[in-house]
Amino acid sequence: MKNDKTYLLDMLLAAKKIQQFTSGMSKQDFEASELHQSAVLREIQVIGEAARLVSDEAKTQYAEIQWRAISGMRNRVIHEYFRVSLDIVWQLIEEEINDLIESINQILSDDESINNSDED
């Protein structure tokens, strides 16, 4: 089984990809581009799946991250893709991705408290 640090790195990389994919875009540009929507939704899935797999201990320790909301967004994107609101996705891009990146960077800088074992 992967460890918490690996999952956090997966989340961080996916969040940074979202930033990269949408850099310089307006909401209108995003709404007009199925390519960008698809790319961002894929990375939201990665973030949500990795968040779901982070240990309960780490989730408790780092309660500032909205683990449940992140997993819930992943579930919506995967299971209810026909009901995904681009307004909510854009809000996530504009208001939440930077905070998630900062939180994960802070957690990773405190490396000793993260589960680093490669248990099965």
Tell me which of 42, 68, 79, 83 is the catalytic residue: 79
Do 66 and 100 contact (CB within 8 A), yes or no? no
Is residue 79 annotated as part of the catalytic site, yes or no?
Answer: yes
Amino acid letter at 73? M
Catalytic position from the list 68, 74, 76, 83: 74
CA pair distance 56, 19, nearest whole angstrom: 28
* Integer CA distances (angstroms), 115 to 1, 14, 28, 61, in order: 11, 20, 41, 11
For the question of residue 36 being annotated catalytic, the response is: no
Contact 7, 51 (CB under 8 A): yes
Residues with catalytic function: 74, 79
